[in-house]
Structure 1
Amino acid sequence: MNGRTRIGLGLLLAMTSPGLADDQELKIGIAASLTGAYAPYVEVEGARCLADKLNVAGVGPKVTIMAEDTRSEPQLSVTIAQKFLDQGAQVVTGIPFPDSLIPIAQIAEPYGATVFSAPNTQVEMQVAGFENFIAGAVPDPVNAASSAEAAYKKGLRTAVLLKSADAGSWSDMLPEWFGQSFEHWGGKVIGRLNHSIGTNDWSPQIAQIRAMSPQPDAIMISSVLPDIGILIRQLKANGYEGWVIGSDGFDDPSLEGTVVDSGTLERVMFATHGPTGTGGPIDEFLADCKARGFAVQGIFDALGADMVLEAHSAAVRAGSVDPAAIRKALRAEGGNPGVTAKVISYAENGSAPVKTVPVIGFQDGKRILIQDTIPDFVPEWK
């Protein structure tokens, strides 16, 4: 389950499912942040690309992707998801945060539909225990543990955590889980500072960091572009020479352009959902999608493709497009093929996948893979 591979269409071609009629359809409704703050992290084009590949291959049910713009507004996300459920979607999703996903999971339950959030990482959904919920990405404590392990192995020993309540546990608790993991290995958290998403002037936080003696080896933040790119630039301009460590919010191709200086990037690392920009199979998938006319951006499109491929594979495996049958097959032993990993399994955790967590760094302005493992230590979070 730990390797990467090209999309397993060959595997699907080899699968037989006498229970599926030729006219059966798998409908996936994505209430998506096509505009607004979360637009860089949307999964729609990757989902559309993978659906197109499957439909051309002609194996299993036809996949129909329904997508509408939420403008990054949680309540609108719920309204659009309701519309998709009324149109017969077996799988729906919304903005990947609890204020959107919890009400969607509640309204989807009477329909029997699955809420499959490709980029969701927040533990609130796991703690809530919705039977009809599945996340496409590992939970935030696992992401944080991976970057902490990599940081300690790099020789970093002190860290400051930048925290925000604006995006729930992803921006508030993920840095804390990093700190717990970092201290497990022998590092030390020497400060905690608050920020708001949408910050473009980091001078108050930078002033507090500059006042620390000695300076921290690392600053850890879980936030979005362009905020983090601006932070990295302003830290460098104010003489900070340590590392900036992040989460999947860093995994946006615009990061390099926002930071500009390739030398500054060499002290940046982040944990994410699959290695992109390193010339591997996920990059090949994205390049193929672009060649086919889909406006894919990066790893979040690969997660969207995971959602489609896994749901479709589960329908083939179940011999049915019944949503409950699909969900049962998603959680079956052995897992189902994915894009970000050869096989993605939910048999162990029910709603959270088991797979490795890549940590990405930079060399000569290009992305490099620092490590790609399941972390040895993950802090308690349930």
Structure 2
Amino acid sequence: MNGLWIGGAALAATALVPATAQAADELKIGLATAMTGDYAPYSEAEGARCMADRLNAEAGPNDPKIELMIEDNRSDPQLAVALGEKFLDEGAQVITGVPFPDSLIPMAQSAQPYGATVFSAPNTQVEMQRAGFDNFIAGAVPDPINAAATAHAVYDKGARTVILMTSPDAGSYSEMLPEWFGEVFEHLGGEVVSKLSYSWGTTDWSPQIAEIKALPDAPDAIHVCDVLPDVGILIRQLRANGYEGWIVGCDAFDDKSLEGTVADASSLDKVMFATHGATGMNTDIDAFLAQCVADGYKVNGIFDALGADMVRVTYEAAKKAGTVEPEALRASIRAPGGYPGVTAPTISFAENGGYPVKTVPVIGFADGKRMLVTDTPPAYVPDF
């Protein structure tokens, strides 16, 4: 009888176990990210790792467990596509790759039969929004909004004439973003006085500088969307040739090597750029990145914060949905109310589906130190 009672107690205890001890759902996120190559400074992987490890450590027994699958795409869009297919075959509900359409469009196509989502933390290009993939989400606001933010900011600083520098090398990012800037600048009352072309990887800007110097009057501003070290070299060479106006750029300027490449702090005094969150000014983003560094992660800036947002939003959406089933997970990501983030207190995809509602910080410099110029949604945005 004693044995029967013990056995009955054991059965009763067993009946209570499943509610707390059953295996949690596994949330698999595949990052084909640039750990080497030209895009390495803009990788989101370390921030994603930092956030995933933090959330896993804090998770309850029934919360989803995050598995990050991270491989180097070597800044090669086609390698990213192949890695994305590998992640999908291994059960990933979310994948990402090089944040440009030549990688993301085929990845979104590959992900469709799996029901999976391509969630590109740093993508800003309108090609993905225009393509209309229901399974694509960008973690950053589109380029026309970024361009509008800087156009408003530099116009408010008194600029009335601008030169646009464009390149086809990164699609709409380097070719159309300056054009959108010009559209907003002229809408506000400014004038685009010239347009110059260039190629990514330029280290000698003398042909473009010669064209600028040949104009009857120096422009109040020059707009360019290019990566480092190119833009740092451009700023240095413009200043060396006597240009004292504004140099305005995009989120690619938000690379901590900018200050070192330019070298002279005074050369940055009339530089500004739009980005995804204010860093270098003791902000909440800085606190997150500093803690990641203290915990041993090699984070390098705002793009890691975007990676952290991607992981947290996906994780919180899985908790809200009560499942990691891919299509239910994507619907939950887009649920009203949004989710807490690193780059913004709340990040919501309910309004636009493919990109978030967020403010656009514009960063400038004073005595070589970064400062916040504006951090509001621009009043006028081009139709895209």
State the TM-score, normalizing by the size of structure 2.
Answer: 0.93
Change (3 A) 1:319 1:271: same
> Any conservation in 2 of the 1:33–1:39 contact (CA below 8 Å)?
yes
Task: Give how far 1:323 is off.
Answer: 1.1
Q: Is structure 2 residue 49 aligned with structure 1 residue 36?
A: no
Question: For 1:82 and 1:339, how far apart are their aligned partners in 2?
Answer: 29
Q: Report the CA distance between 1:341 and its aligned residue.
A: 0.5
Root-mean-square deviation (CA, aligned residues, Å) is 1.2
Partner of 2:181: 178
1:128 maps to which residue?
Answer: 131
Q: Aligned letter for 2:69?
A: M
Pairing partner for 1:313 from 309, 312, 316:
316
Moved >2 Å (runs of 4+): 18-23
Residue type of the alignment partner of 1:129: G
- In structure 1, the residue matched to 2:237 is 234
Secondary structure at the aligned position of 2:226 is classed as: coil
The one of 102, 105, 124 equivalent to 2:105 is: 102
- Cα distance in structure 2, aligned partners of 1:19 and 1:219: 60
Please tell me whether the aligned partners of residues 224 and 250 of structure 1 are also in contact (alpha carbons under 8 angstroms).
Answer: yes
Query: Residue 100 of structure 1: CA displacement?
Result: 0.1
SS at 1:245 equivalent = strand
Say which of 132, 135, 140 aligns to 1:137.
140
In percent, how many aligned pairs have the same letter? Answer: 64
Q: Secondary structure at the residue paired with 1:134? A: strand
Query: May I ask how many residue pairs the two structures share in their alignment?
Result: 364
The corresponding residue for 2:380 is 377
Q: Secondary structure at the match of 2:193?
A: strand
Q: 1:21 to 1:222 in 2, by over 3 A?
A: farther
Q: Conserved in 2, the CA contact under 8 Å of 1:22 and 1:61? A: no
Q: Which AA in structure 2 matches 1:335? A: G
Q: Deviations over 1:207-238 (max 9, x none)?
A: 00011121001100011000000000000111
Structure 1 pair 89–21 and aligned structure 2 pair: CA distance change class (3 A): farther
Q: Give the Å deviation of 1:22.
A: 3.8
The structure with higher relative contact order (CA 8 Å, sep 6+) is 1
List gaps (5 residues or longer) in structure 2: 1-18
1:44 counterpart letter in structure 2: A
Match among 275, 280, 296 for residue 277 of structure 1: 280
Partner of 2:84: 81
Residue number in structure 1 paired with 2:226: 223
Correspondence for 1:8: none
Are 1:353 and 2:356 an aligned pair?
A: yes
| Structure 1 match to 2:251 | 248
Return closer, same or farther for 1:19/1:343 CA change in 2, 3 Å cut-off: farther
Match of 1:190?
193
Tell me the residue number matched to 1:12: none
- Say whether residues 1:264 and 2:264 are aligned partners: no
| Corresponding residue of 1:26 | 27
The verdict on how the C-alpha distance between 1:260 and 1:21 changes in structure 2, with shifts beyond 3 A counting, is farther
Residue 290 of structure 1: aligned partner:
293
1:19 shift after superposition: 12
Amino acid at match of 1:269: M
Structure 1 counterpart of 2:16: none
Question: Who wins on radius of gyration, i.e. which is larger?
Answer: 2
Deviation by residue 1:264-294 (Cα, 9 ceiling, x = unmatched)? 1111000000001111000000000000000
Q: Is 2:157 the counterpart of 1:154? A: yes
